[in-house]
Structure formats: structure tokens, C-alpha cells
Amino acid sequence: MLNRELTERTERFLREKFDAALYLNAHPEAKAYRLEHSFRVANIGVRIARGEGFDETETAVACLLHDVAYCEEFGEDGWREHGRRSAAIARPFLRTLGFPEDRVEDICYGIAIHVDDEADFEGERTPFALSVGDADNIDRFDAYRIHEALARDGFLEMALEEKEAYVTKRLDRLCGIRELPTGTETAGRLWRERLDFYASFFEKLAAQVGNSRSITG
């Protein structure tokens, strides 16, 4: 069961960090997206926790803070480092929530490795720790991200041939990642469900694009 006091304190901490970020304040759309993404990942994390018997509060807190380093200005390698930086920023705050030190470290390790599977401190790849990255990845393949990608890539402005190539590329990519390993059975099931939805959408889009040139029946 979620401890609402601790999750609300974590939400306030995350908002405060983002509110103080120069880049995010100069780019309100990026700030809104990063906050919304953090909540979506936390909700996915809670679903994983419930399926696996993890502590729901610890999972929600870990997922809420997985991208907290976006409060900082990213340098040349900032994106790759943001998991490790997020863990460093989160650690002192997590201690104020009263979690045992071993749980603080497990949470931080999950946050640290969620980008490139590497941390800058010793830790164990527990199913719990792996769930932070799993929840982050699962959020990349759902209705919101489909819309975001199509809008970002200018799908509506593409020529028909470009649309055909775009959709084919998307479908080809899905074939290579459907069996991506996950830390838990629950995350694996959610991952495959999301990819099946994603593939179904692009298969329908491919059919529509294919019917946009001539009568095929």
C-alpha cells in the first residue's frame, strides 16, 4: 500500500527541484513533459510492485526521482549521466523519508542504472532496482509517446514515400526489442502488452498509408 505522506513529500521535492531549474523554466514544455513522464513511470512502477510484492511506496518514490537530474544543466555527456546524477541528488532526500539505509541504496542503484545499466557506486541488480528502468522503458511505448513521436518527427508534413519509410522503420524496430529482458515477470508482461499495442497502431497506420496511393482492392 502506498504511503501517501512519503509520496507527496517526494512529489513536492521533485517539483521544487524542477521549479528551480533554469533550463526547465526557460522551456516550460520540457518541464511539463518531464514531470508528467515521472508520474507515468511511477504509476507503472506501482503496477510492477503490486504484481511482484515489492514495497509500493519505495517503488513509486524511486520512479518519481529517476529523472530528477533534469533540474541540472546537461553538459556534453549529461544525458548518459543523468541516472547517476539523479541517484546522487535523490540520496540525501531519501534519507529524510526514514527508509533504512539498505533500501536507500537499492532505490539509488535502480535510479543510477536506468539509463545505461551502469552506476558509479557498488550495488546489486535486484529485481526491484531493475524495475525503475523497466517502468521507464514501458512508458516509451504507449499512446502518448506515439502522438509525441509523430508530432516531433513531422509525420503529417512528410511526403507519402517518407510516411511509408517511417512506418516501416518503426515496425522493424519493434521486432528487435519485443523480447528485451526485464527484471520481473510483471514488467515483461506489461512490456509485451505495450509493444503489441504499439505494433497494432503502426500496422493500421501502414495499411492506411498503403491505401493512400491507389485503389488496391
DSSP characters over 112-172: HHTTTS--SS-----HHHHHHHHHHHHHTSSHHHHHHHHHHTTGGGS-HHHHHHHHHHHHH
Closest CA to 38 of 75, 1, 74, 13: 13
pLDDT of the residue at 76? 58
Secondary-structure class of domain 4-136 per CATH: mainly alpha
Residue for cell digits 510483471?
186
So where are the chain's domains? 4-136, 143-210
Residue segments in the chain with a per-residue pLDDT below the cut of 50: none
pLDDT of the residue at 134? 98
pTM: 0.91
pLDDT of the residue at 136? 97
pLDDT of the residue at 120? 94
